[in-house]
Every structure is written in C-alpha cells, then in structure tokens.
Amino acid sequence: MRNKIVAGNWKMNLDADEAESLYRDLLNKSLGQSDGKMTLIFPPNIYLKDFIEKNNGSFEIGAQNVNAQKNGAYTGEVSASQLKSIGCSWVLVGHSERRTLFNEDDKVLLDKINSALEYGLNVIYCCGESLNERKELRHKSKIQSQLAILKAFSLEQIKSISIAYEPIWAIGTGKTASPDQAAEMHDFIREELKILFGSEASDQTSILYGGSCSPSNAEVLFKCHNIDGGLIGGAALNADSFRSIIEFLK
Ligand code: PGA
C-alpha cells in the first residue's frame, strides 16, 4: 500500500545554531521509520550535507527547491545532480510560495520534476487553491489544472511522486482546512490521479495535507480516508510538536 508520510518544511528559518539544535532534538526523539511510515525533513540547503552525514536513519532528508538544469551558469541555484551527490533523496516542487513569490509556472515545474526524477530523487508535488478561487468555487478546477502537468509522466515515474494538497489560505495562517474540506479535496485528487494514471497508480500515491497542520488538528485530519500524512511548516520547527504530529499517523 501507499506510504504514510509526515514531512517538515523548515522554509528559510533557523540560523546554524538553531538548526543544529532542532536537528539534534529530532535525532534524539527517535522518529523511527517503520513499515510504510516515513518521516522527511526539508531544511534549508546550507544544512543539507551536514545533516545527511549525521542522519541516524530516523528520517529522510530533502531539499525545498531544485533547479531544472543539470549544471551551468545559473547563479545561486542548485541542481538535482548536486542534491543527489550529497545523498539527498527528496525534493519539494510546486510549493505555493515558489509559484507566487518566484513566478514558477507549469513549464518550470514540469522541468524541475523531470530533472529530479532523472537523478532518482522523490518528489512532493504541491498544489492548492487561493481563498478567492475557493470562494468562487474554482478550487477543484484549480487543482485539476495543477495536477494535469503530471500527465507528462509514465506509470513508473509517478511512483516517485507524492502529492501535497495545501490550500494557500491555510498556509502559515493558523486557519486549517476543516476535515470535511480537506477530505473532499483529497478524494477529488485521488479521483483525478485515477483519471490520469489508473486506479492502481492512484491508490499507490501518497497525498499529504499541508496548511497550519499542528498537534491539535493532525489526529482528525489523518483519520480521513485519503489523507496519507502531512506537509508541516511552522509546527515542524519544534521537535515536540513535530513528533506529536508523527504519532498521529497510523
Ligand atoms: P504551515 O506551512 O504548516 O506553516 O502552514 C505548510 C507549508 O507551507 O508547507
């Protein structure tokens, strides 16, 4: 069956001492991966190599971004081959902050996923609607169009892609989607994946919820049939709250 995943997206937070201290806390909390249950962390790039070297197997480590090019004159960017070469195993693509603040469009996101897959990285592909899109009842069509870019990938490739449903209005706002809202969208995403890739591939794909997920709401969210875990921002910056969220994953 599909993996259950809790992933912590640290974003551009924590200086070196703070990051080291959180990382040590997480290592000590034995977040152990077990059958079909995975913990991932996405720290800022500058900490990746050090953390990967110190990892005790409690979790897998990924990058928050990747450039689609292999190498070359792309000042400030990091490629999938470079991430792979330091032992990184996951990458986030399509986070709403990248889409809106860095103008990443479908073409860029497609190229990024292609490059990540070429180098054997697993991808969490994020999708989500804005508050206006929801108010105007365009939330499903928005997700449908964001998922449509995935049809470029084969059944084999889709095995390396997980989805995170992150309503933009819930990210960093403290306003979590209600279990009904989240469940409706996760069911919809599962159906869309079925249309794109067939039932077997759709059933195997993990769909995570993201957007103000915390120890106070994770339990009820994770009980929803098609919610296979969470992509956690703010609550991943504290080892105790991150661990509590992981414990709700059954
Ligand atoms: P949040 O962020 O948990 O702080 O809302 C989630 C995310 O952006 O992935």
Question: What is the token pair recorded at 118?
Answer: 């070429």
Number of the ligand 1 atom closest to the C-alpha atom of 96: 8
pLDDT, residue 56, reads 87
What are the tens digits of pLDDT across the range 167-204? Answer: 999 999 999 999 999 999 999 999 999 999 999 999 99
- pLDDT grade for 58, boundaries at 50, 70 and 90: confident
Say how far apart CA 167 and CA 159 lie, in whole Å: 24
What are the tens digits of pLDDT across the range 135-161? Answer: 999 999 999 999 999 999 999 999 999
Calculate mean pLDDT across residues 200-213.
97
CB 9 within 8 A of CB 43: no
Q: In this structure, which residue's CA is closest to atom 1 in ligand 1? A: 233
Calculate mean pLDDT across residues 24-45.
86
Does the beta carbon of 210 sit less than 6 angstroms from any atom of ligand 1?
yes
> What are the residue ranges of helices labelled H in the chain?
16-28, 48-54, 80-85, 96-101, 106-118, 131-135, 139-148, 155-158, 179-197, 199-204, 218-222, 239-247
* Active-site residue set: 95, 166
Sequence-distant (≥ 6) Cβ neighbours of residue 136 within 8 angstroms: none
| Domain limits for position 118 | 4-247
Q: 127: left (phi > 0), else alpha (psi -120 to 50), else beta? A: beta
The total number of structural domains that make up the chain: 1
Does the beta carbon of 211 sit less than 6 angstroms from any atom of ligand 1?
yes
Q: What is the CATH number of the domain that holds 235?
A: 3.20.20.70
